[in-house]
Structure 1
């Protein structure tokens, strides 16, 4: 029989094709299903992109907490892994594009699902812009010819800000074209890019460890922040660096309808993307702390990882590294834009966005939703333009957008916990994928892990939203920016209430049965 979709509806996996499996949710197979396991893993790993993010944010963590900020990386990984385990269990049971939206809707209902998707898509647009603008930090150092506007490459200068927008816009045009010509090409580019990034990370780690000036016990040094009272608060603030980096690992779920046997592949690649990113990131941080020429001259906090690498690597190898970072920025931007376009497509397909009919159209030749990819690219460029007028506001936007990602995660883990307490999944141990293999399940420890995921997410939202002038208004010129976190949450909720399709009934149906 057919019934309307309801929260936590049990859907019977079939033993047939992936397209037939998707049909159980009431959707036709429109997207081209051509991604394998490594491409699925690459989507999550490239979204996190430790080579891009640690390159940018190392100084933030060190400046707040000194060398001991290393332990915040471990703490955030443990918290995020509880979230990843919950996502993996959902990915096995709901392999549908627009993962965060679909999971929160099925667990908590239409309104919560819509807001989960709303928060995530806003965050992804800003995050893609932040990734694209990072080219300005890299390319002019590779070749001065990339500084097309003016002669000052600093992001805080007027010429640097304008040039950053130009380079970022060109990058977004490239990623938009790749997204439009098909997921197969996106998979090729991402796979090659991830391989380059992994090689680059390994090479950097080896270079750092072979040029160390101190031992690994440096991670127990609280540095200058530890000489003041209340170090624990400085240490908690230093955890923002890891919180900014370790997001997006669930991108494998966003591409579920384009992945072969997603019930089996997506749960594995979600966990693998986060784990490998965490291990590689921990070694990068440790290596940088051991190889830094000085921990007290202030340069490590101001210049971050580039300061260490410039002293370790000779000029030719440093240039090769910067090229590798540029590749990482490309695939990071591509992965985020792809995830955002699939989320927009998924919400439009359910009639939850304005102009849903055109937004949900899939090009039959490329098998991709072209219009959402173009719209996401255009919106990212619009966000980039903010940096020309005020780089402080742009930096604040990129910080607060991470809060929206954690809120979107809570929109999944909180209702999942409620459903779990009611007995979800009701067919535990008897569900199978398209190949007849048992689905990933947390079993009896699911409730405990889910509680930890909710507690971690709530604490991190508070930590990210806390009005720290050092994060949101470092120059002190705009006091209102200090409250950007809570104000942004309120603004996004109010805008979401206005944009929500009130009175529009959801018409999708699914087939359920025992």
Structure 2
């Protein structure tokens, strides 16, 4: 960027001249922290618990077979993102990648869509705690009013943690992810073992359509509606997103070009396998349990019926921990995106939002801003009686748009990308791109269904707000004023920070 105080990664966070000390975020995250960020954002406990009831209603038990296909599709995207993260390991992920390789205008659009996604998906996951889990756990009547208050409190707590200390945030998330891994594996094994011993597993139920007509089940649907099996893909599409959040912490990760791609791919694979085994166990047990289809928390109903009320309560506590971890990672990722765009002077209020607090070494102002935006989105959706469906639908649509745009960019510009220092697709590049392209086109076509009008409205309103701001940005600076730092500058900046990673690791990084 053509500014006197711009460093190799963009304008200085403190806005001061080159002769003064510049606060920096510490490069201290290792593989497990990076894996935990990707795993915590995806959070199968959160995604399955939130959307399983919708799948039963629209696709029946047979809908779980869309899960492995979704895993393959999302894994192909994770591989493409891994190739990009290895070449441009800078905070801001898709915003940075598209800006530097395609151009600043398209990069800004991608960044704004990512910001809109992170804002709405934070509320989508946190609202689940207040609207479905806590009423079931403590046996009280949930209302839109108390769900609003509780969700607002959860969002505030997550923001305080992120703003206060990155290290503490990661410690909390690491513990939560470890608990989720152990808990989900234990629950899955217990469901299979106890269900088989007590005769409560009905594997024929896995292929039942339930209340959904079998005729036309696999059809593509019409111009304004998707077929039953197509709607089942939303379970995987909503759950297995956010793995790229590990790339958004690239400037805080040791040896990011190697660590981040590995963490993203491993998170998707482990979540995909564990999630599918859990779905099989829950669905097989649901075939011999009454009232599952009418339950507000069908997964908890199945667990309680098979393993007892105590284990059912433990499951709900596990889901609360998982959702809190998921929201914590989303807040962390959203804060880093706002900071990255503000550092490049491209976000509303960038003068304040690009600052790194000297005491906490975190983008404190960006954390507060992300919290306020989340509270506004919560206020918009919380009065709706169908808020949870609208939130998770918008939280599925927006990443599909982000993924499609980024994969398309990679496909067009892959031959002009800088060399990788840690991960490359090699001869698998074309097959991976084909799988990712087919999957994303199919996924986006699902959203022609008339039930997604509210999420589309949210997306269009956010686009309109972004368009007004960006038009003003172009008028004030002109297109030439939005030039991104050259790739050579990026490499020099990364080289300058690598010794910090080597010192922290006690040896040479590369």
Match of 1:85 in 2: 79
Aligned to 1:509, the other structure's residue is in SS state coil
Aligned match of 1:62 = 56
8 Å contact from structure 2 (residues 163, 367) kept in 1: yes
Q: Separation in 1 of the partners of 2:449 and 2:230?
A: 14
- For 1:456, the equivalent position in structure 2 comes to 439
1:134-165 CA distances to partner (integer Å, 9 max, x unpaired)? 12222343335xxxxxx522xxxxxx211111
Partner of 1:200: 183
In 1, the alpha carbon distance for the partners of 2:23 and 2:94 equals 20
> Alignment partner of 2:482: what SS?
coil
Find out whether 1:502 has 2:474 as its counterpart: yes
1:299 alignment partner, SS class: coil
Relative to structure 1, the CA distance from residue 301 to residue 459 in structure 2 (aligned partners, 3 Å threshold; closer, same or farther) is farther
Of residues 136, 141, 154, the one that matches 1:152 is 141
Q: Which of 108, 121, 146 is matched with 1:163 structurally?
A: 146
Q: How does 1:6-25 map to 2 (within 5 A)?
A: none
Compute the TM-score of the two structures, normalised by the length of structure 2. 0.84
The residue aligned with 2:236 is: 242
- Alpha-carbon distance in 2 for matches of 1:425, 1:101: 16
Instruction: Name the SS for the 1:406 alignment partner.
Output: helix
The equivalent position to 1:143 in structure 2, one of 131, 134, 138, is: 138
CA distance in structure 1 between the aligned counterparts of 2:459 and 2:378, rounded to whole angstroms: 21
Identify the match of residue 450 of structure 2 among 468, 483, 490. 468
Alignment partner, residue 277 of structure 1: 271
Which residue pairs with 2:214 in the alignment?
Answer: 227
Are the structure 2 counterparts of residues 99 and 74 from structure 1 closer, same or farther at C-alpha, using a change threshold of 3 Å? same
Q: How many residues align?
A: 460
Unpaired runs of at least 5, structure 1: 6-21, 145-150, 154-159, 433-438, 473-482
Q: Secondary structure at the match of 2:360?
A: coil
User: 1:80/1:59 Cα in 2 relative to 1: closer, same or farther (>3 Å)?
Assistant: same
Q: What are the residue-to-residue correspondences of 1:415-454 with 2, within 5 Å?
A: 415-420=409-414, 423-425=415-417, 427=419, 431-432=420-421, 439-454=422-437
Q: Judge conservation of contact 1:62–1:301 (CA < 8 Å) in 2.
A: no
Say whether the 8 Å CA contact 2:163–2:363 is kept in structure 1: yes
Q: Is the 8 A contact 2:286 2:292 kept in 1?
A: no
Deviation per CA, 1:349-401, whole angstroms, max 9, x where unpaired? 01111221210000122211011111111221222223542233563244123
**Under a length normalisation based on structure 1, what TM-score does the superposition of the two structures give?**
0.83
Q: State yes or no: 1:492 paired with 2:462.
A: yes
C-alpha displacement at 1:206, in angstroms?
1.5
Retained in 2: the 8 A contact 1:46–1:331?
yes
Task: Tell me the distance in 1 between the aligned counterparts of 2:118 and 2:9.
Answer: 29
Q: Does 1:108 align with 2:102?
A: yes
Contact 2:42 2:239 (8 Å CA) reproduced: yes
SS of the residue aligned with 1:391?
A: coil
- SS of equivalent to 1:450: helix
CA RMSD of aligned residues (A): 2.6
* CA positional deviation for 1:91: 0.7
Q: Is the 8 A contact 1:108 1:416 kept in 2?
A: no
Question: Structure 2: how far apart are the matches of 1:225 and 1:398?
Answer: 22
Structure 1 position 130, deviation (Å): 1.4
With over 3 angstroms needed to count, the CA separation of the structure-2 counterparts of 1:489 and 1:180, relative to structure 1, is closer
